[in-house]
């Protein structure tokens, strides 16, 4: 039985091994076309890009798996998840909200984008409620409430990895909802910050809010500037790279942060147990 299987399998495997990755992707695109590009209700070409209307959709291979993209890239950046075709894909593609703002869906959920600025849609904001006005407010964050009456330093409200929060002079306090980010006044902000400061260890998790969110790394993860025990650093959530000595953490550019993260990732994890090994070898 195995001999019969191998006789048929071996020649086919050899044919595949001789092909280039692009040729394999093209063959898969043709084979899966009825599934990837099912007929649309309006009768239009199912391979026509629903965003620019000029390019043709085709299967691509990326770092995180297969996806469908427009042939007009980089002029048109339309993509759709693998397996979402026809009217379903058309309905979930980028939507223009107005004022140059686009509503898109990425690897980590929906977000709004205008130019180089992006903002994730909070979980407590229904997608159908995201208008140009709502998007404008999200893109404008952090919101400055005003100077603290005691320190004179600004109090800001924003949305981070762990939800909405207040920030003042390196200290943080959680907010209960996205609405509070835009509605909290000075009196409430001062009280919440004071409560958080007296909360002891509970403040520790809130103090992990970023100094700045710079944008997305090419790997799709958010790049943030964080305050660390040994100084500020940039991180994509997996790799942490310390900023050069004297660098202003509030003035770091996305390109520079990506470079530092990539260089740190290329070095691999730090070796552990060096001293212990040295002691053992000296015995």
163 and 107 in a common domain: no
86 and 47 in a common domain: yes
163 and 133 in a common domain: no
pLDDT of 137 reads 94
Of 154, 175, 206, which marks where a domain is finished? 206
pLDDT tens per residue, range 67-84: 788 888 878 877 776 655
- Measured over the CA atoms of residue 144, residue 141, residue 167 and residue 251, the dihedral's sign is negative
What's the rounded mean pLDDT across residues 263-273?
69
pLDDT tens per residue, range 166-189: 999 999 999 999 999 999 999 999
| 7 found inside a domain | no
Determine how many CB atoms are found less than 10 A away from the CB of residue 80. 23
| 260 found inside a domain | yes
188 and 155 in a common domain: yes
| 257 found inside a domain | yes
Environment class of residue 112 by beta-carbon count within 10 Å: exposed (0-12), middle (13-18) or buried (19+)?
Answer: buried
pLDDT of 168 reads 95
Give the integer Cα–Cα distance in Å for 233 and 154.
22
| 274 found inside a domain | no
pLDDT tens per residue, range 213-243: 888 888 888 899 988 777 888 998 888 889 9
Count of structural domains within the chain: 4
Phi, psi of 202 (to 5 degrees): -65, -25
83 and 28 in a common domain: yes
| 238 found inside a domain | yes
Q: Give the range of the structural domain holding residue 135, as residue numbers without chain letter.
A: 95-139
| 5 found inside a domain | no
């Amino acid at each position: 039985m195995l001999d019969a299987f191998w006789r048929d399998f071996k020649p086919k495997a050899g044919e595949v091994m001789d092909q280039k990755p692009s040729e394999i992707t093209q063959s898969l695109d043709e084979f899966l076309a009825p599934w990837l590009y099912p007929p649309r209700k309006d009768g239009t070409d199912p391979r026509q890009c629903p965003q620019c209307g000029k390019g043709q959709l085709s299967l691509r291979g990326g770092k995180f798996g297969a996806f469908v993209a427009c042939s007009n890239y980089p002029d048109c950046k339309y993509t759709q998840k693998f397996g979402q075709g026809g009217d379903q894909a058309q309905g979930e593609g980028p939507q223009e909200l107005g004022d140059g703002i686009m509503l898109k869906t990425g690897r980590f959920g929906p977000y709004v984008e205008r130019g180089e600025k992006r903002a994730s849609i909070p979980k407590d904001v229904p997608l159908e409620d995201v208008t140009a006005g709502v998007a404008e407010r999200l893109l404008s964050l952090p919101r400055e409430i005003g100077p603290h009456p005691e320190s004179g330093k600004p109090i800001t409200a924003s949305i981070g990895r762990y939800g909405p929060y207040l920030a003042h002079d390196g200290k943080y306090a959680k907010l209960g909802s996205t609405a509070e980010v835009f509605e909290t006044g000075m009196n409430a902000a001062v009280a919440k910050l004071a409560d958080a400061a007296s909360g002891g260890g509970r403040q520790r998790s809130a103090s992990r809010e970023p100094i700045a969110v710079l944008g997305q790394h090419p790997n799709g993860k958010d790049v943030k500037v964080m305050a660390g025990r040994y100084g500020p650093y940039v991180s994509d959530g997996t790799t942490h790279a310390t900023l050069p000595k004297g660098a202003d953490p509030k003035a770091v550019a996305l390109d520079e942060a990506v470079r530092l993260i990539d260089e740190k990732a290329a070095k691999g994890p730090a070796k552990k147990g060096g001293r212990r090994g040295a002691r053992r070898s000296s015995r």
